């Protein structure tokens, strides 16, 4: 059970994450890459500003990885997340999961990104031409 977690204000590296989870016993690697979209509800997005409660975010990410290992026969799991200022097209998050067979890799990868969005203390502010909003802050 190999877990690789990182929160960084430097650009993320997809090939590096794939390399982290590549193992002789794995027959498949599933990768989710979350990128910055250039519009929200038709409004042009200039940039996103991410911040994290880093120590707690790493703890929650580890919890997600450990749960994934309990639920599916996966070999290795990497979660790398950005902080700081990102522009459309930039990579905000990478999740890479390896497993002997593809079903476990797909399922664990989807579980990891879905749960990350619900539980990991990371926040993003969308900045538009005419204002800014913390995503999901208000009902």
CA distance 70 to 73: 8
Q: Minimum CB separation from other proteins for residue 110, in Å?
A: 12
Q: Minimum CB separation from other proteins for residue 24, in Å?
A: 30
- Beta-ladder partners of 8: 82
How many residues touch other proteins under the rule CB under 8 A: the total is 29
Residue among 26, 97, 108, 120 that touches other proteins (CB under 8 A): 120
Which residues are CB-neighbours of 38 under 8 A, at least 6 positions away?
44, 45, 88, 89
Under the binding rule (CB under 8 A), the answer on residue 41 touching other proteins is: no
Which among 137, 127, 124 has a CA at the least distance from the CA of 43?
Answer: 127
- Within 10 angstroms of residue 36's Cβ, the number of other Cβ atoms is 18
- Is residue 83 a contact partner of residue 50, using CB atoms and an 8 Å limit? yes
Sketch the per residue contact string, 65 through 104, with other proteins: x for CB under 8 A, - otherwise: ----------------x----------xx-----------
Residue among 17, 52, 96, 109 that touches other proteins (CB under 8 A): 52
- Binding residues (CB under 8 A) for other proteins: these are 34, 50-53, 55-57, 59, 81, 92-93, 113, 116-125, 134-139
């Amino acid at each position: 059970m190999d877990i690789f977690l990182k929160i960084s204000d430097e650009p993320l590296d997809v090939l590096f994450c794939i390399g982290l989870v590549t193992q002789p016993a794995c027959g498949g690697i599933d990768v989710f890459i979350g990128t910055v979209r250039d519009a929200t509800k038709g409004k042009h997005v200039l940039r996103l500003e991410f911040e994290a409660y880093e120590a707690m975010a790493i703890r929650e990410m580890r919890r997600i990885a450990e749960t994934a290992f309990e639920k599916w026969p996966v070999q290795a799991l990497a979660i790398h997340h950005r902080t700081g200022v990102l522009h459309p097209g930039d990579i905000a998050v990478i999740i890479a999961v390896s497993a002997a067979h593809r079903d476990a890799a797909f399922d664990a990868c989807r579980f990891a990104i879905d749960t990350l969005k619900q539980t990991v203390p990371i926040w993003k502010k969308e900045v538009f031409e005419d204002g800014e909003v913390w995503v999901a802050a208000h009902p």
